[in-house]
Chain A
């Protein structure tokens, strides 16, 4: 049973436009959420996180929104740049237990010129 789901395996967005990547979770014990970005032949790198006490966290062009009632979070990238083309993983964890992040399957973002 997948507790973290990224239902869109891929997304194509034009340069300069907004990219919106979505993630749904089922475990109500999750109280912190992270997005990782992965380029080919590299490991995932941390991008941005959000705690369940917030509904929004912003870092430059990247904003993560959390809707706890819907168990949904999204990552907005504005404006999208070609260098943003990568696979984006959503991850969720429960601070009450030992660190054990649960990851989604990833969404491949392609930013076109």
Chain B
């Protein structure tokens, strides 16, 4: 596999469920990101990891919990979500976290919270 792979592509969960989104990059990049895309809104940065260390948490509620066990994998653990959290969650990676780095995105995980 090449590029950035996200699983699952679609997820439906109730407000009391616990689920996780997974992201894997095969590009040898050092930085990984979670973005949220809601309808008619700009992509919103959620978290940035550089060399497995979280360098940015963009005021995201604690019901979203990221995990970066190594530079190739990134998870987003979901717990007690709200219907307004329904969105497309995009993972991305870049060579480094700083400067003018081009992001490579995965295809996204479409989350529906009932």
Contact = CB atoms under 8 A, between A and B. Distances in A.
Interface of A: 2, 4, 9, 32, 34, 36, 41-46, 49, 51, 89, 91, 93, 95, 97-106
Contacts, number: 64
Q: Which 3 A-B pairs have the closest CB atoms?
A: A43-B105, A103-B43, A32-B100
A99 B42 contact: no
Given A51-B100, A99-B96, A99-B101, A43 B43 contact: no
27 contacts: A2-B42, A4-B42, A36-B105, A43-B6, A43-B92, A43-B106, A43-B108, A44-B43, A44-B103, A46-B104, A49-B102, A89-B42, A91-B43, A93-B100, A97-B98, A98-B56, A98-B97, A98-B98, A99-B48, A99-B97, A99-B101, A99-B103, A101-B45, A101-B103, A102-B42, A103-B43, A105-B42
Contact of A41 (B50, B90, B107): B107
B21 interface: no
Could you say which interface size class chain B belongs to?
A: 20 to 34
Contacts of B50: 98
Given A99-B31, A100-B56, A46 B103 contact: yes
Contacts of B98: 95, 97-99
Contacts of B96: 99
A104 B94 CA distance: 20
Contact of A104 (B42, B58, B99): B42
